[in-house]
Structure 1
Amino acid sequence: MTCIAVIGETVADAFLPAEQATPGALDLRVRPGGGPANTAVALGRLGAPACFVGRVSRGPIGALLRRHLTDSHVDVSRVVDAAEEPTLAIAAVNAAGQARYSFYAAGTADWQWSPDELAASTPDDAVCLHAGSLALALDPGGPLIERLLGDRRGAATISIDPNIRPGIVPLDRYRDRLPGWAAIADILRLSQDDLDLLYPGRPLADLCEQWHADGVRLVVVTRGGDGATASLNGERFTVPARPVTPVDTVGAGDAFTAGLLHRLHQGGALGGKLDALDPDLLVRALTFASDVAAETCRKPGADPPWPADLTL
């Protein structure tokens, strides 16, 4: 069976409690995270044929991250057993459920791809290649992933989620690289927060027009509680968000992407340049993705739902 291959990082998310229980100490609860890994986990739990392409470190954190993937039915047969240290993110969640991260990522395993290692780890028969986040923005691995996606475009649907992290990657680097990503992406998913950081005040219609001109067929912008808007070759669609009282919003955007790709795969739209994608399938996929994201917000950390959790 052809798979949806997710290329990118898996990160140890260390959450700060609202109140420190131990004076003079920093109490942390470590959970598996990383935008691409979150997407792969959500895909696997939904029943999609998900394959993770990443470099996972050794030791107890690496074992936690790898087990999280396998327990969620993600194929990890192509994961590289990396000698470098794992990436760590310390997350503080505010009263609205939004997380602010401090990353410890210099020289860690996720970014140290070589061209031969990346090519050998990426399945040739993938129906879709999804990438983004820090793995696409950081050197030395980012340019290698971008080149591989460009080489595979046409045979596989290329999905990119920039997942802006200004605390570790300068915004100018995203602005410089986004045109190149748009030139190879069939699906480009961003959050409203991403747009506000990168292009404050610029109308979405103008951005979509530019990205469509670059070659993107489907642009999707998620707006949290305000739902999601998509532009398919210039035709606009909007779906509402399912009302939910969030525990936090960690991983919600990644889960949305997984729900979208899962439904598009079920509808036979993946495997090329989205020629088979019609408005009816798109709206159904966006609605399902919004429900998957909402359910993810009901649990702490990036803990996307299983099918039994979705009352649809």
Structure 2
Amino acid sequence: MPQNFLITAASGNIGRELLPLLQPLEGARVILPTSNASRLEKVLPPPIDGSAEFIIEEGSIRDPSWLQQQLVKYEVDTVFLCLTGQDELFTTMNILDCLARSKVVKHLVYISACVDFTTPKGVQELLSHCSAGHILVKIITEQKLLYGNFPYTWTILRPTLFFSNDLRTKRSMLGANVYSEPLGEMGVSRVAPSDIALAVKNSMVNNEKWANKHVCVGTKQIYKGSEIAELWSKAIGKEIKMLPITEEGFESFEKRIVPFTGPEQGRELRLMVESFASRKLEMTSEEYKDQVELLGKEPECYETWIQKVGASWQE
């Protein structure tokens, strides 16, 4: 039976990978709310016969009345929710309520983070190591989905650290031989945005199978900061050093990123990378097995991605 999807952040890192995966779904309608229709139009896949119908609606998902009207208008049964920003908590809670009030939505796919937000132990461990608000907000959201008695099911995806974050350090690596995000030596799993998009698509299409489940997405192997620097050194043919996990290193990272993100988000990202200095970002073997089942394949290889990107930089 054809589905009606509503996709948030369709022009973002995950959204750009997701739209081509939805295109072959004949008879499906894909509703794309956006505050900038002209920008979104540029990333839409070219139309083909027998493909899903993409419908752009210009407006703000932060306006609950407007969003609820779109859900009802298009009889949306499945929603992909990917949010970040200073008002993430207000917006997320309003959207969860809108989905319930619409009386048409049957399933939600929500992007969280690779942490156990459902047990006291998981929450306490996170709170003791992390002060980044865009991560801590996931605690409230996941708890609300668990205990909110909503009339729709959900799948919570927990991606690890994006491959594409490394692209932010290109200028620093090529110019100063420094990987400019101090990731430390505890180790982090990495994830390709394309794998997150595939997990979104599969959990939306097969929503009954993945109803009310949490799935981590990322590499089974975790990478220390020194290992990441070594991989980039080999890929671009010059020795790369990781920024040290010192006050000076974190300060340097924050100062470098603030001109692009603004001071509030710059500090947010600093708080996130500081947390990697004191805790591992990884998944269990059972969580990895669930991911492979959802994706229908092994996740993309981080080392292979670095090699390809490094080769393109040298060209």
Same fold (TM over 0.5): no
Q: Would you tell me which structure has more helix in proportion to its own residues?
A: 2
Q: Would you tell me which structure has more strand in proportion to its own residues?
A: 1
TM-score w.r.t. length of structure 1:
0.43
Look at both structures and tell me which one has the larger radius of gyration over its CA atoms: 2
